Structure 1
């Protein structure tokens, strides 16, 4: 038998290491201060013990065993990894060209998604709800690639595709009438309740975590109006019924007041945007325990950047019509005690700037702690992942960030994340 060459020997050794079960590793994290969103408090100097990627103990700072692996964040304020409940990772950034999605292949979208995922994680968002993409199942494949360790990124909850009417707010619109849109961009297009049942079942069969409905028109889709209901009540109920049968849930893009109430009455768990919500809709969300996921930063970005880059006039007009109304609704919802998660619609603006929304949430009625809770415990509860993410008590994944300064005194420090740990591994 011939001897193995050094290269082949090295490859064999590597394969054996990869095949061997991972050894449990203990890591200690020293936190100068620890923001505890479960208790709504900030604790002085804490020592966080991590075993095999999960928190096993949180105690006052003290000695660790000799030779222990220590991440020394004693000069920083430490928080649980942040959660963004509304991102679009595997899509191109919004631009002035409404047909932009048609200019890029599915393969390119995958690589773009990997880049966006990395930027999001580096910004301190260790978990996201990917709230739709034009290429069906691109988020499912990105989630799987991250979970396999192929690329770096946050934990992802997926929806696979938009469930929308033909030509509705979840379609690529604004191009010439003789252009054929690829089939994978129309996987969630439905024409009636029976079709909705079929399409939503197909989404789950392809591995999605939850469902995203486009209940009303959209600000950034030409030919649709935010105040107009698009999906019928029966179509929305059909989607909710399928999701419940599979132990899952549904969120609805809904700007208009009537569409919001129709979606809530159909049984959705959350409303995205809620821009034109009225007092009756706020009361209904409160009574039914429905989350509002309101992207109140976006309006300023669209108004400034969109005008500078000549975005279509109807998009800018719809943005003007909804921005201030959404912020008034947000303030009312805070006062009413409605559950408000943290969702930014990242992709409208560049990924990685997600934390810019915090100061808007504080400006429009939240305390800094409430804003942090929205991006941790409240969003984790909406995802159904409270046992795993959104906090740093024992049992949770060791997902955490470190920032210089006190976010309760200046919430904008969360826009400048110094360090990130995901699953006990320091990634930044």
Structure 2
């Protein structure tokens, strides 16, 4: 038995060694590294295992490298979506998580994130998700262990909400006992306990619903939900464990509190104004405005009763919101790409880049918002976000240069994650 185990270990070691030595060369027609404003042509990327080892001219090519010819394509870093909910689906998402077990939610969610990966999203930050347990972390762990292909996943277990808040279910009879899609916490002690529980179960981010939400029933996006004491407790507790906090905030007062009390990122920020823009700059806080989700439901599911607040926000607040985002961008606020994807196709989620161009970013700035800047937001800039030597080979390619047509990111033709080809050129 001992000899058999040693033989098995030897075979596994050899297999691992062969993988580590696997060498790939990508010939790029146009290369956007994401690290600067330069655009390279006729460039070669050398990859060994899962990392980039060299970038240069075709003189780097040798017979030991398996060649992928993308000389007719534009090559870019894999896209990073900083605000997704892969377990949410359908207009009745506040109760859909109860229709299947956590195991079923994990299986369904795995298919969802694999589809998003094929659309070019090589990294996701989950902004809390709808499950009675932690199905999305089971997905993450299965991907990380090599059992399945999938994107890199970071994020929060649940969105933490007050009783009656956006993470609660506010339209069921009070005689019924039901598990809401969010985690309900009231008071300092419950907040401490909840954050400790979230981290114990795999959260590397904490998500707080500071204000009401647009995509939930029975709460007001302009209301502040958590008390100052609860917010301070949350940030202190998370900071002690080295875990950053993202805060959902629509109302101005909620945005102000979230920034001042230590949020690393503000999610949505619908009622942004001059004061909150200056606070974002003062505290070096990121903003993830999540513009695509409203666009999706306005175009694909108009008149949906369950999403009347979202539809109203698109009609009433969109114009003013885009103007404030333009001002925030001009002043230098760090604005990251986040689609708030709740089950729509990954290709549609890339509309977020087009939205950023609409409020004033150049196509290259928008691309960097969904690559380099988001990697910095995640504190993963040493590994992902740009095409550089030493980083993971997370690479995508489009047929047309997205600097000429940003919507081309909705039609990604080639995807590689960590040196493994996920989607090849037909």
For residues 411 and 305 of structure 1, the distance between their equivalents in structure 2, rounded to whole angstroms, comes to 21
Contact 2:106 2:139 in 1 (8 A): yes
What residue number does 1:199 align with? 194
TM-superposed CA distance for 1:87, in Å, is 0.6
Contact 2:217 2:306 in 1 (8 A): no
Contact 1:359 1:412 in 2 (8 A): yes
RMSD over aligned CA atoms reads: 2.2
1:34–1:370 CA distance, 2 compared to 1 (3 A): same
SS at 1:47 equivalent:
strand
Among candidates 143, 159, 164, match of residue 161 of structure 2: 164
TM-superposed CA distance for 1:327, in Å, is 2.0
What residue number does 1:411 align with? 406
| Structure 2 unpaired stretches of 5+ | none
Contact 1:54 1:395 in 2 (8 A): yes
2:222 is the counterpart of 1:233: no
TM-superposed CA distance for 1:67, in Å, is 4.2
Aligned residues: 415
Q: What is the correspondence of 1:294-373 to structure 2 with a 5 Å cutoff?
A: 294-347=289-342, 349-373=344-368
SS at 1:417 equivalent:
coil
For residues 353 and 392 of structure 1, the distance between their equivalents in structure 2, rounded to whole angstroms, comes to 24
Among candidates 59, 66, 76, match of residue 79 of structure 1: 76
SS at 1:62 equivalent:
helix
1:313–1:339 CA distance, 2 compared to 1 (3 A): closer
Q: Which moved more, 1:279-288 or 1:130-139?
A: 130-139
Q: Which moved more, 1:307-316 or 1:268-277?
A: 307-316
Among candidates 18, 22, 28, match of residue 16 of structure 2: 22
SS at 1:103 equivalent:
coil
2:181 is the counterpart of 1:181: no
Among candidates 381, 384, 397, match of residue 379 of structure 2: 384
1:324–1:178 CA distance, 2 compared to 1 (3 A): farther
For residues 325 and 111 of structure 1, the distance between their equivalents in structure 2, rounded to whole angstroms, comes to 40
1:76–1:308 CA distance, 2 compared to 1 (3 A): same
1:77–1:192 CA distance, 2 compared to 1 (3 A): same
TM-superposed CA distance for 1:353, in Å, is 2.0
Contact 2:73 2:399 in 1 (8 A): yes
Contact 1:123 1:353 in 2 (8 A): no
TM-superposed CA distance for 1:142, in Å, is 1.2
TM-superposed CA distance for 1:75, in Å, is 1.4
Q: Which moved more, 1:343-352 or 1:121-130?
A: 343-352
TM-superposed CA distance for 1:310, in Å, is 4.3
2:117 is the counterpart of 1:121: yes
What residue number does 1:248 align with? 243
For residues 175 and 310 of structure 2, the distance between their equivalents in structure 1, rounded to whole angstroms, comes to 23
For residues 192 and 32 of structure 1, the distance between their equivalents in structure 2, rounded to whole angstroms, comes to 57
1:283–1:97 CA distance, 2 compared to 1 (3 A): closer
2:129 is the counterpart of 1:133: yes
2:90 is the counterpart of 1:94: yes
1:31–1:97 CA distance, 2 compared to 1 (3 A): closer
Contact 1:101 1:134 in 2 (8 A): yes
2:272 is the counterpart of 1:277: yes
TM-superposed CA distance for 1:227, in Å, is 1.2
For residues 356 and 309 of structure 2, the distance between their equivalents in structure 1, rounded to whole angstroms, comes to 27
What residue number does 1:4 align with? none
| Structure 1 unpaired stretches of 5+ | 1-8
